[in-house]
Chains A and B, each alone.
Chain A
C-alpha cells in the first residue's frame, strides 16, 4: 500500500514535468503550427537562468576572516552578505525560486526574438524543415551554453526549509516512513498552477478566446480585422517562458547541464503525440498518464515479471496509442492529417 502510494506520487511528479514541457510544445504547435524541436533547449536555457542568477548573487569579495586569529586569513564572502547582513544569506538561500525574476523577462525576450527573427519565416514551410531548423537552433543554444558554463552539471540546491523530505505518510494516515522530497511536491504544485493558469488564460480571457479562435481558423480571424500574428508571437513568447520556468524549478531535482533539454525533448514529443497534436488537454492528460505508467513500470515487482519494461514502457504505450488511435488520445480531426 505504501509503495503504491509512493508510486502514485512519483507518477504525478514525473507526469507534471512531462505535462509542463508538453504543454508549451502543444501551445506553439496549436497556434503557430510549428513543430518546435528547440523546446527542450529552451527548458535548458531556463535552468541556466537559475544558474546565472545564482552566480550573480554569489559574486564575492575577499574579506578578513575573523575566526582565524593566528594570521591574516581571507575568505570569499558574497557582496550580498557584506552589504545586507540580515537578508543577504536568505536571498542566497532562496536563489532558485528568486531566479524566476530573471528567467521571466529573459525567456520572454528570447521567445520574442526567436519568433520574430526565425520562426515566423517557417509558418508555411513543411514540417520536416521546421523540425530541422529548430533542431539546428537547439544545437546552437546547447553549444553556446556549453561554451559559457562548461560541460559539467552545475548543482543548485533548494532553499533549506524545503531541502528535506515531507512526511506525506502522516498526512494521509499511512506509515511514518512514507516520505517524499519537499521540492518535488513543490514542483508538482507549481506545474499544476502553471497548467491551470494557461487554461484559465485561454478559456476565460478575451485574449485567450481570440487565440483559441486563431488556433481553429487563422484566416477567418485575420479577416475579422484582428492581428492574429501579433497574438501568436506573444503566445510563442509565453510558451518559451513556461519552458524556462519549468527549467528553473527543475534545477534542484536535476543539476542542469547543456544537454538536459535533449533528453526531455524526445519524451515530451512522445507525450504531445500521444495526447494528440495541438490538443492542450491531451498533452496534459498524456503527460500524467505516461508519468504514472512509467512510475509503476519501475516498481521492482513489475520489473521481476517483465525485465526492462521500465525502459521501454513509454515508447510502447506511444506505439500502441498511435496505432489504435491515429490522432492520439484527444487529437482533433484536421490537424496534421495531411
Chain B
C-alpha cells in the first residue's frame, strides 16, 4: 500500500527524508509554536508507539485494544531499573523492551487464538486486567494511584559503586548526558528513526509480505499449508516491544509511571493516531501521533483571552459569540475537536492523511496533465 502513495520514491530517500524531518523538528516546529522539548519528546515517543502498533494493525489487520498495557509495563520496568540499578537509560530500555516483549508473548499466545472483534475484546480484557491490578494488588510494585516515582533512598546498586549520591534526586542520563530537554528529544528522535528503519525493513521483508497475506486472506494462507500463528505472534511481540520502548522513553524523559497510562482510552489513542495518519503506511502513524499530540498541547493551551485576541478583527458585538463558540473546541474542550476530526477522517478518508495527500497529489498531477494536453498555454514537450 505504502509504496503506491509516494510514487516511485525509493526507500533510501524516504528514510533520509524522514530522518532529516525528525531531526530538524526543533527548527520547523518553531513557527507553529511547537518548539519546546516536552512536546517534541512526546512527538517522538508516541511516534514510536504508533509505528509499533501499525506493525500489528497495519500489516495484519488485527485491531488490538490493549496496547497501553505494554506501554505501562515498559514505564514501570524503566523506573524499577532506575531505582534498583542505575540512572543510566540503556539498562532501562533493555528491561522495558524485554518485559513488554515477554508480556506480549503471553498475551499474544492466548489472544491470537481468536480473530476479529473477539481478538480486540481479548486484548482489551487483558489490558484492563493489568490496569485494575496495578491499582489494587500490584500496589507494592506500581505504587497504586500515586504512581511509581524515584526516591532519594533508592538502592541504585550499580550507581552507588561509582559515585557518591548527590543531594537531590538524580536525573536520568546516557553515560553522563542528562536526558531532559533537547538532549532527551534527540535521544528519542534517534530511537524513532531507528524504529522507523526497522519497521521499513519489516514492511519490505518476506515476513512483512506474509503478514500482508494474512491480512488480505488468512484462510487462503492457511490452505497453502502455512501455519500463520508464529508469524502473527512475532508481529504481536514486535509491536508490544515497540510499545515497551515508548513506555520506557516516557519514564526516561519524566521519571514517573502511573497506572492511568494503561487504561483502555490510552489504547484507543494509539489506534486513533494510526488511523488518522494512515493505517498500513510507513510514515502515517508518526504523522498521526504528531498531529494528535500537537493538538493536545497547543489547542488545550488556548483560553478565552487568546481567542478574543484572535477574533479581535470582528465587530465588537460578535467577538463574544465567536469566542464562546470557538471556546467549545479548544482549551479543555479540545477533545471535541479530536472527536470530530476522528469522525470526519474515518468517514471521508479511511486511509488517513497519507492516503488523502496521495489522492491530492494524484488529482493535481492529473489535472496538470489534462490541462497540458488540451490548453496550449502550458506547453510541456516530451510529456
Q: Which of A139, A269, A318 contacts B339 (CB 8 A)?
A: A139
Query: When the two chains form their complex, are residues B335 and A143 in contact, meaning their CB atoms are under 8 A apart?
Result: yes
For chain A, the count of residues having a C-beta within 8 Å of the partner chain is 42
> Per a CB cutoff under 8 Å, which of A127, A139, A151 touches B342?
A139
Contacts of A277 in B (CB 8 A): 117
Centre residue among B125, B272, B328 by max chain A CB count within 10 A: B125
In-complex Cβ contact of A139 among B122, B132, B136, B338 (8 A): B338
B350 on interface, CB distance cutoff 8 Å: yes
Identify which of A139, A266, A269, A316 contacts B336 (C-beta below 8 A): A139
B272: which A residues are within 8 A, CB to CB? 132
Contact A307 to B136, CB < 8 A, known contacts A139-B335, A315-B126: yes
B125 touches A147 (CB 8 A): no
Q: Determine the chain B residues whose CB is within 8 A of the CB of A143 once the complex forms.
A: 328, 333, 335-336, 339
**What residue in chain A is nearest B107 (Cβ atoms)?**
A319
The complex places the Cα of A274 from the Cα of B128 at a distance, in Å, of 16
Which chain B residues (273-298) contact chain A, with CB distance < 8 Å? 275
Chain B residue nearest to A274 in the complex (CB): B121
- Neighbour of B124 across the interface among A121, A269, A312, CB < 8 A: A269
Query: A137–B339 contact, CB under 8 A?
Result: yes
Task: Choose one: B114, B124, B132, B340; the contact of A136 (CB below 8 Å).
Answer: B340
Distance to closest chain A CB from B216 (angstroms): 12
A132 touches B118 (CB 8 A): no
Q: Please, what's the 1-or-0 string for B57-84, where 1 marks a CB less than 8 Å from any CB in chain A? A: 1000101000000000000000000000
Q: How far is it, in angstroms, between the C-alpha of A140 and the C-alpha of B120 when the chains are bound? A: 23
Interface SS of A by simple majority: helix
A316 close to B129 (CB less than 8 A): yes
Q: How many residues of chain B are within 8 Å of chain A by beta carbon?
A: 45
- Contact among B57, B120, B121, B347 with A121 in the assembled complex (CB-CB below 8 Å): B347
- Given known A136-B340, A315-B126, A319-B110, contact A262–B265 (CB-CB < 8 A): yes
Q: List the B side residues contacting A153 at CB < 8 Å.
A: none
Report yes or no: B350 in contact with A129, Cβ–Cβ below 8 A.
Answer: yes
* Most central of A128, A308, A322 by chain B CB within 10 Å: A128
- Is B110 a contact of A323 with CB atoms below 8 Å? yes
- A227 at the B interface (CB under 8 A): no
CB distance from A249 to the nearest CB of B (A): 26
* Assembly CA distance A250 to B128 (angstroms): 24
Please tell me if the beta carbons of A147 and B271 are within 8 angstroms of each other in the complex. Answer: no
Say how far B73's CB is from chain A's closest CB, in angstroms. 16
User: CA of A144 to CA of B343 in the docked complex: distance in angstroms?
Assistant: 15
The answer to whether A23 has its CB under 8 Å from any CB of chain B is: no
Asked if B116 and A311 make an inter-chain contact with CB atoms under 8 angstroms apart, the answer reads no
Question: B335 near A312 (CB under 8 angstroms)?
Answer: no
A301 interfacial contact with B, CB 8 Å: no
A181 adjacent to chain B (CB < 8 Å): no
Which residue of A is nearest B334, CB measured? A143
Given contact pairs A132-B342, A319-B126, A336-B118, A144 touches B336 in the complex (Cβ within 8 A): yes
**Is A43 at the interface (CB under 8 A from chain B)?**
no
- B121 interface neighbour in A133, A146, A322, A337, Cβ under 8 Å: A322
Residue in A closest to B136 when the chains form the complex, CB atoms? A308
Q: How would residues 144 to 185 of chain B score, 1 for a CB under 8 Å from any chain A CB and 0 otherwise?
A: 000000000000000000000000000000000000000000
B356 an interface residue at 8 Å Cβ cutoff? no
- Chain B min CB distance to A234 (Å): 23
Interface: A106 (CB within 8 A) = no
> Given that A132-B275, A322-B114, A336-B118 are contacting pairs, would A137 and B335 also be in contact in the complex, using a CB cutoff of 8 Å?
no
| CA gap between A273 and B133 in the complex, in Å | 22
Residue A230 at the B interface, CB < 8 A?
A: no
B115 lies within 8 A of A140 (CB): no
* B343: contacting residue among A136, A269, A270, A311, CB under 8 A: A136
User: Are B338's CB and A269's CB within 8 A?
Assistant: no
Q: Are B133 and A308 in contact (CB under 8 A)?
A: yes
A326 interfacial by beta-carbon distance below 8 Å: yes
**Is B137's CB within 8 Å of the partner chain A?**
yes
What are the residues of chain B within 8 A of A72 when measuring CB–CB? none
**A8 contacts the other chain (CB 8 A):** no
Specify which chain B residues have a CB less than 8 angstroms from the CB of A308 in the assembled complex. 132-133, 136-138
**Complex CA–CA separation, A322 to B113 (angstroms):** 9
Q: Which of B121, B132, B333, B335 is within 8 Å of A270, CB to CB?
A: B121
Q: Smallest CB–CB gap between A62 and chain B, Å? A: 27
Residue of A138, A146, A311, A326 touching B136 (CB-CB under 8 A): A311
Assess whether B333 is in contact with A146, with CB atoms less than 8 Å apart. Answer: yes
Min CB–CB distance B319 → chain A (angstroms): 19
Give A140 Cβ to nearest chain B Cβ, in Å.
4
Query: With an 8 A cutoff between CB atoms, is B186 at the interface?
Result: no
Given the complex of chains A and B, what is the CA–CA distance between A147 and B331 in angstroms? 11
Q: Say yes or no: is A10 at the interface (Cβ < 8 Å to chain B).
A: no
Find B129's partner among A137, A315, A326 (CB 8 Å cutoff): A315
Across the A-B interface, the 10 shortest Cβ-Cβ residue pairs:
A139-B339, A308-B137, A136-B342, A311-B132, A143-B336, A140-B339, A136-B343, A315-B125, A133-B346, A308-B136
